[in-house]
Amino acid sequence: MMSLFQRRDHRGFTLLELQLALVIVALMGMLLFEVLQLGARSWRSVTDRSLEAEKLVQVQNFLRRQLRLMHNNQLRDENGKLQTAFYGDHHRISFVAPPPGPLKDASLYWWTLVTTYDEETQQSQLMLGYQPYELTSNDVTQGNLIRPEDWSRMFDRATTRFFPGEFEFEYWDSQEGWLTEWQRQPNLPVMVRVQTVNNDEKNLSHWPLLMIIPLQRELDFSAGDERFSKE
């Protein structure tokens, strides 16, 4: 009797048992694959959010720095009227500032930011343009002529996609408050506000309201310039 049971114990697995084992192994493999895919998607999502947040911070820091360091260079229009080297409306801004980064030279550049609809990406984009600040003379009585078409050309050169989204610019005047235009003025605005229109977009969901006071205006205030006010 013992020999009979021993022979039956060593007969091995049946075909059905092997098939069931293979099915179980396959299911475990599929489950493991799904777990790995879910982990990879989660990692990519975290990485993408980190990259978006990092780019957002870089864009904000760039705008803060450049707008804060804008220069109050004086130009003349075709009628000989003095105006600051600054032109802004609700969706465009152009100003003079040094380049970003620890550069040793004292060069200045025109910086231009324009919100426009980009046909290629099918969304609004903040476009960036820059060019060396070159004028014919340091004496405003002899050179530094700026014409309306010069501003238009600078805005046309803003062709680099800087950040997706629709942005608006506003300018603080100590007498009139917030304005949507700052053009042909003798001085820089007291403050520049940069805000987004569609904050529900993924890349703009954490965009703060930026309000930048140009350093030159702070110096005016420190020197007792009565035109500077933050009422």
Number of domains making up the chain: 1
78 to each of 68, 135, 149, 184, how far by Cα in Å? 29, 15, 11, 12
- Is position 40 within any domain? no
Residue environment code for 34-66, b if the CB has 16+ CB neighbours within 10 A, otherwise e: eeeeeeeeeeeeeeeeeeeeeebeebbebbeeb
- Is position 4 within any domain? no
* pLDDT for res 111: 93
- Whole-model pTM: value is 0.69
Average pLDDT over residues 177-198: 91
Confidence grade of residue 228 (pLDDT, cut at 50, 70, 90): very low
Pairing type for strands 160-164 and 123-132 reads antiparallel
- Is position 27 within any domain? no
Domain region containing 91: 47-222
What's the rounded Cα separation, in Å, for the pair 159 and 173? 30
Q: Is residue 38 within 8 Å of 46, Cβ to Cβ?
A: no
State pLDDT tens for residues 156-185.
Answer: 877 888 888 889 999 999 889 999 999 989
pLDDT at 208 over 60: yes
State pLDDT tens for residues 103-120.
Answer: 555 688 999 999 988 888
- Is position 132 within any domain? yes
- Is position 230 within any domain? no
Please give the DSSP secondary-structure letter assigned to residue 145.
B
